[in-house]
Amino acid sequence: MTHPADAARRADAAHPDASTNRSSVLQRGVIGLSAALLGWAGVAALRGTVRALVRRAHPLDGRVVLITGGARGLGLALARAFARDGARLVLVSRTVVELERARQELAASGADVQVVAHDIRDAGGSARLVAEVVARTGRLDVLVNDAGIIQMAPFAAVPDADIRDSLDTHVWGPLHLNRAALPHVARSRGSIVNVSSIGGRVAVPHLLPYCVGKFALAGLSEGLHAELAATGVHLLTVTPGLLRSGSHRNVRVRGAHVAEARWFGLASATSLTSMRVDRAADRIVRACRERRAQLTLGVQARALEVAHVLAPGAVAGAMRLAAWVLPAAPPTPEAERARLSRTLDLGWVSALMPSGTAAAMNQPSAVDDR
């Protein structure tokens, strides 16, 4: 049998041009690959330099940042991160004791912080809130629309009121605040950050009211990004995947209450399925300084986003499977009642819940907090 190398040598001897062609193809390949690598490194270096320049051009030191939902969870992590960059903070939420705890913690670490108890669903209240903030601080440079609610239930158990509540909280609240804040933010060519969710890109079963609100918020935010460019206002749309923010205690559940709360708790408890909330906050603050338009947080969320574009049918199939696995609503009037996850005994799942994180993120206590 002839060895292939011998055959190639004989072929080269018979056709000297063939060997020259092979080595020049190889050379061209190596040169092409090196050029591509150099190009990639050059683009990465240029991007890094541009971002560093933009960061320097948009410092946060002394800027006033208003954060809705700033008393706990991601909002509190954002407050800590903005404070590290020297920003002055105004935190807004409805629960006075949580606001006061957050204020004391941040003030003790040297932050300039004020708190305002306010419900962002109060349409007429947005202008009053912004006027109060500007009266107290003299300016408003960054608005972060972080406040949010999580409702988990099968569609059969979802009343229209839940969808209205989601729209009021995730769309109308941010919209009215965006309008009211705009003239002030434009004056300092500042930023508006809208925290949507991966649930605002891909609809997830048993989170319909949430997804309806978050899809609308992502659309609103991206539309404003384009329309407000001329005013100098920067819009950042954030779509995080699951975060370990301790918010598993605040889920409003209907249907099979305990089973629904367990699913959400488990999904937001492990590092395989969720991201650390302080890392998420650091990334958002950096993206704000770099005036980026869009930020999806967490490898799981990024993978889902890409899969949704490249293989929408497969993602739809996976979501059908998830809907099949999730618990159906029992046919009882009790199933239609909304219960807060923190009031439910989750049994063996309680031991897996990140209660340390929940305490560190100023979350309310829960019956599973033992």
User: Is 210 one of the catalytic residues?
Assistant: yes
- Whether residue 85 contacts residue 285, with contact meaning beta carbons closer than 8 Å, is answered with yes
The answer to whether residues 290 and 54 touch, using CB atoms and an 8 Å cutoff, is yes
Sequence-distant (6+) residues with CB within 8 A of 332 are none
Taking CB under 6 A as the criterion, the residue among 137, 247, 341, 357 binding ligand NAP is 247
- Taking alpha carbons only, the member of 218, 232, 230 closest to residue 175 is 218
C-beta of 197: minimal distance to ligand NAP in Å?
4
Interatomic CA distance for residues 55 and 291, integer angstroms = 8
Residue with Cβ nearer ligand NAP (186 or 203): 203
Instruction: Give the binding range for ligand NAP (CB under 6 A) out of 115-123, 151-159, 222-230, 344-352.
Output: 115-123
**Minimum distance of ligand NAP from residue 41's CB (angstroms):** 34
Backbone phi and psi for residue 354, each to the nearest 5 degrees, phi listed first: -80, 75
**Residue whose CB is less far from ligand NAP, 68 or 191:** 68
Q: Which is closer to ligand NAP, CB of 220 or CB of 335?
A: 220
**64 versus 177: smaller Cβ distance to ligand NAP:** 177
Nearest to 82 by CA among 292, 283, 358, 298: 283
| Nearest distance from C-beta of residue 180 to ligand NAP, angstroms | 14
Given CA atoms 242, 207, 121, 98 in this order, what sign does their dihedral have? negative
Q: Which residues have CB under 8 Å from 115's CB, separation 6+? A: 70, 71, 90, 91, 92, 99, 100, 102, 103
Nearest distance in Å: CB 189, ligand NAP: 25
Contact with ligand NAP (CB under 6 A) among 143, 192, 208, 243: 243
Among 210, 215, 263, 264, the active-site one is: 210
Smallest separation, CB 275 to ligand NAP (Å): 8
State how far the Cα of 298 lies from the Cα of 241, in Å rounded to an integer: 6
Q: Which stretch binds ligand NAP (CB under 6 A): 35-43, 106-114, 119-127, 344-352?
A: 119-127
Per-residue x/- track, 50-89, ligand NAP (CB under 6 A): ------------------xx-xxxxx--------------
- Signed CA dihedral, 321, 325, 331, 335: sign only: negative
Residue from 106, 133, 147, 329 in contact with ligand NAP (CB under 6 A): 147
Spatial distance between the Cα atoms of 246 and 265, rounded to a whole number of angstroms: 9
Binding track over 256-295 against ligand NAP, x by CB under 6 A = ------------x---------------------------
Applying CB under 6 A, among 55, 84, 94, 101 the residue interacting with ligand NAP is: 94
Question: What is the closest distance, in whole angstroms, from the C-beta atom of residue 44 to ligand NAP in the complex?
Answer: 28
Q: Under the criterion CB under 6 A, does residue 355 sit at the interface with ligand NAP?
A: no
| Count of residues interacting with ligand NAP (CB under 6 A) | 29
Strands (E), the chain: 64-68, 88-93, 113-117, 142-145, 150-152, 191-195, 234-240, 243-244, 251-253, 275-276, 294-297, 339-340
Interacting span for ligand NAP (CB under 6 A) from 4-12, 47-55, 90-98, 318-326: 90-98
Q: b/e string for 237-250 if b means 16 or more Cβ within 10 A?
A: bbbbbbbbbbbbbb
As a whole number of Å, the end-to-end CA separation of the chain is 76
Contacts of 132 (CB under 8 A, 6+ apart): 116
Smallest separation (angstroms) from ligand NAP to the CB of 323: 19
Give contact residues for ligand NAP (rule: CB under 6 A).
68-69, 71-75, 92-95, 98, 119-121, 146-149, 169, 195, 197, 240, 242-243, 245, 247, 250, 268
Q: Annotated catalytic sites, by residue?
A: 210
